């Protein structure tokens, strides 16, 4: 693979997994492979002290080689704003990491957006990703492997996330699954385990 962002087509990379699975660490390492001008789009909201500390720890982990954009709600619009001109060299970024999709969806659900409205926002996100001029890495949580949630809101959120994953996976050039501390590359085939030295330069695990 040619990882020079000025000479290779912009890639969409979907990185999923459970909590503390290593997915964010892998996403940062992959971003460092793909380009020098890096933007980190953070969707988390510091609604309490514990979440504020998680966000701060995540920022410390990724270091100063990423420009951070905080956008908990208008994610498609944020990506469009970063899109720039017709070539990767015209934009303000070679690679953009979105961390994470599930927090963004949770923000929409918690502010009262209907299932249909959230689906429209996912469609807008997919459209923004399809037209972007930079490499995009989307981090997300796989929430569909556990028991059926007891509460209706939990079941709604699980379904919304699952449908969003299907939508973005259809666009993705690369799909990686973090599980048991191991990164599995699902696309492109064949399925393979990511090299352990990919993220040797990152000493601490991010918040997700």
Quick: pLDDT tens for 96-135. 999 999 999 999 999 999 999 999 999 999 999 999 999 9
pLDDT at 184 over 60: yes
DSSP string spanning 84-139? -SSSGGGSS-SEEEEE-HHHHHHHHHHTT--HHHHHHHHHHHHHHHHH-SSEEEEE
The 10 Å Cβ neighbour count of residue 26 is 24
Sign of CA dihedral 113, 119, 123, 129: positive
* Residue 22: strand pairing partners: none
Enter the CATH code of domain 12-193: 3.40.50.300
The pLDDT confidence band at residue 3, using thresholds 50, 70 and 90, is very low
pLDDT averaged over every residue in the chain: 86
Quick: pLDDT tens for 43-100. 987 667 787 677 677 667 777 899 999 999 999 999 999 985 444 444 579 999 999 9
Give the pLDDT confidence score for residue 47 in this predicted structure. Answer: 67
> In the predicted model, is pLDDT for residue 169 greater than 60?
yes
Where does the pLDDT of residue 12 fall: very low under 50, low under 70, confident under 90, or very high at 90 and above? Answer: very high
Q: Please, what sign has the CA dihedral across residues 138, 133, 65, 107? A: negative
The residues assigned a catalytic role are 58
pLDDT at 173: 98
* Predicted local distance difference test score (pLDDT) of residue 91: 57
Q: What pairing do the DSSP bridges indicate for beta strands 174-179 and 182-187?
A: antiparallel
pLDDT beyond 90 at 9: no
The yes-or-no verdict on residue 28 having pLDDT over 70 is yes
For the chain, the structural domain boundaries read: 12-193
| Residues in the chain, overall count | 208
Q: Is the per-residue pLDDT at 171 higher than 70?
A: yes
pLDDT, residue 203, reads: 37
For the chain, the maximum distance between any two Cα atoms, rounded to a whole number of angstroms, is 49
């Amino acid at each position: 693979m040619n990882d020079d962002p000025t000479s290779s087509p912009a890639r969409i990379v979907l990185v999923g997994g459970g909590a503390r699975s290593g997915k964010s660490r892998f996403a940062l390492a992959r971003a460092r492979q793909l380009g020098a001008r890096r933007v980190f789009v953070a969707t988390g909201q510091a609604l309490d002290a514990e979440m504020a500390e998680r966000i701060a720890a995540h920022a410390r982990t990724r270091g100063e080689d990423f420009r951070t954009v905080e956008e908990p709600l208008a994610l498609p619009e944020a990506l469009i704003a970063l899109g720039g001109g017709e070539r990767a060299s015209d934009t303000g970024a070679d690679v953009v990491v979105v961390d994470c999709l599930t927090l963004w969806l949770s923000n929409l659900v918690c502010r009262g957006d209907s299932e249909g409205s959230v689906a429209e926002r996912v469609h807008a996100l997919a459209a923004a990703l399809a037209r972007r001029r930079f490499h995009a890495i989307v981090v997300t949580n796989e929430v569909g492997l556990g028991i059926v949630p007891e509460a209706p809101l939990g079941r709604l959120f699980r379904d919304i996330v699952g449908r969003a994953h299907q939508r973005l996976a259809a666009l993705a050039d690369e799909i990686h699954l973090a599980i048991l501390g191991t990164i599995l590359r699902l696309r492109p085939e064949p399925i393979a385990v990511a090299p352990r030295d990919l993220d040797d330069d990152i000493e601490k695990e991010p918040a997700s």
